[in-house]
Structure 1
């Protein structure tokens, strides 16, 4: 049986709670419902296909056919991912005749992806 060596250097060795810091952090913490919604947003963005879609839409609006060709998936698979993104208010669409064009819902989405890319590329 293989033993796993634990690294205890990253935890406190004694119990000492700074009540002032804990109280300040508690006051600054967002309500649970807000944090839950944020976590759900990050979970949706955690899928590589959806991240590719968002990245493509940073440049300009694209139709489902364009996204399918770009990402290399079927229109059905792209539509499924777009529905998930739409349900989270991350993308929106407009119809022009029989074509559905998708774009980012607002500038916040662009900022989130741009900040994430900057973080991983540093």
Structure 2
């Protein structure tokens, strides 16, 4: 078995000031990282990923998504609300129906993640 402690720590206590200075100058601010964590949290649910995947193929109403996922409408609506609140999906109204569709940017995130996990 590999002793991970030898890989997780430095064997010296040298601080690389030039590296720290560059990182501190360019690191993403805490508010933006917090916003990103909200998006990643929403994407950490397999059902929400399946909704996103389906909406990449076609816009869909809640009834269609409910049938696709074999879930109750309140359960699907809960997931849609979470995705909508952070701007990953949008909707348009046609009569009594709401049709959901993806924000274009999330499609790229999904595709890159899919490529990452399938390579």
Same fold (TM over 0.5): yes
Structure 2, unmatched stretches of 5+, are none
Take 2:3 and 2:99, find their aligned partners in 1: how far apart are those partners? Answer: 51
Take 1:47 and 1:80, find their aligned partners in 2: how far apart are those partners? Answer: 12
Moved over 6 A (4+): none
Q: TM-score, normalised by structure 1?
A: 0.91
Take 1:23 and 1:65, find their aligned partners in 2: how far apart are those partners? Answer: 53
Structure 1, unmatched stretches of 5+, are none
Take 1:60 and 1:24, find their aligned partners in 2: how far apart are those partners? Answer: 44
Structure 2 SS opposite 1:95: strand
Counting only pairs closer than 5 Å after superposition, residues 10-89 of structure 1 correspond to structure 2 as 10=7, 11-89=9-87
Structure 2 SS opposite 1:58: helix
- Note if 1:114 corresponds to 2:111: yes
Take 2:39 and 2:99, find their aligned partners in 1: how far apart are those partners? Answer: 22
Q: TM-score, normalised by structure 2?
A: 0.93
Give 1 or 2: higher helix fraction: 2
